[in-house]
Structure 1
């Protein structure tokens, strides 16, 4: 246990939200573009909450990854990209990385997130290119 009650609450709540995001992404993978909007909105809200909490606590790596995750979910939510297999896989990998960061909360800003940032940026870039071609 960490000797900071605020950090402990963040870890507990974020762990629950990451589980909810993962479950939501797996449902999104199964139903694709035929998913209920409420599912996508729920996943987005959880990602937003993780980002906001990390911002308040100055946890820059958690904030950065959850912000990029939120950006992809926003694009899906607004119909600017389809929830394709690649995007879902990258988002699930990001949830796993976020879990690692949360489990090592006091060292989270010293753990490299470059690979995951690059994967998320690639998904965002491909969606932008697809919109330009359309």
Structure 2
């Protein structure tokens, strides 16, 4: 039993070691203030990225449209990150069980077809109806 316990501990430390990264650069790192972005980060129910489209499903009280949400596109090194931000609150009183689908072409987002994209929004289950 002691041998199995020891092997388990070694496996955990090996896994943790693989998750960490240590940078040994001696150059100073400049801190920059975070960019101010409009609206609030929008939780999403789902997202699908195709070769030239970004499709999202978000909550709606019955009045959410594409104009109420904006995709913020950031380039971080060689990576493209999209964050949906809600500009206008949906004050209607007819919640849509499945939310609403919003989509943008890569052309609208200023991206080349086939670009690799990461979505940086929290995931939220649709409300149970």
Between Structure 1 and Structure 2, the one with more helix by share is 1
Rg bigger for which structure?
A: 2
Say yes or no: TM over 0.5.
Answer: no
Greater percentage in strand: 2
